[in-house]
Amino acid sequence: MEERSPVPAPHPARDVTEHVGYRLKRASAALRNAMDKALREHDLTVPQYSCLELLDERPGLSNADLARGTFVTRQSANVVLRGLKEAGLITRPLTTDHGRALPTHLTPAGERRLRAARGAVYAIEERMIRSIPEGRLSALLADLDTMTAALDE
């Protein structure tokens, strides 16, 4: 049997739980769980809420734009949009004059649902921010952006 040489860790760590990727995933899972619970009270999923937020900021986005912005596949975005449309929270034309992209817009009911859910989601973010020592939030955000850029290269 061939002996394997260990792969050196990218930084000193006693075990996997001390690696940056593990900690990011753990924080992401905690955020997702808290959002799932809060949004359930508003009859929304996290991807649905994310779509509503994006459409509030940029009305008329296409399925592809919404898929990218909510970190899901186009197929998953179709399912999310179908659910939002059936709930009367968005409108999408059946056809478009040019291209294949169907622009999506919030309905008044979608705007109301978003505003109600936004308060619950912002309360979760506020809980996270309160746990960070004063003055460190901007550095944390910059570090997260830097790590993302390093992986996007």
CATH class (in words) of the domain with range 18-128: mainly alpha
């929304």: which residue's tokens? 44
- What pLDDT sits at residue 2? 64
C-alpha 112/C-alpha 6 separation (Å) is 55
Query: What are the residue boundaries of the structural domains of the chain, listed by start?
Result: 18-128
Token pair belonging to 85: 């449309």
Note if the pTM is more than 0.95: no
Per-residue pLDDT of 79-134, as tens digits, reads 999 999 999 999 987 766 665 667 899 999 999 999 999 999 999 999 999 999 98
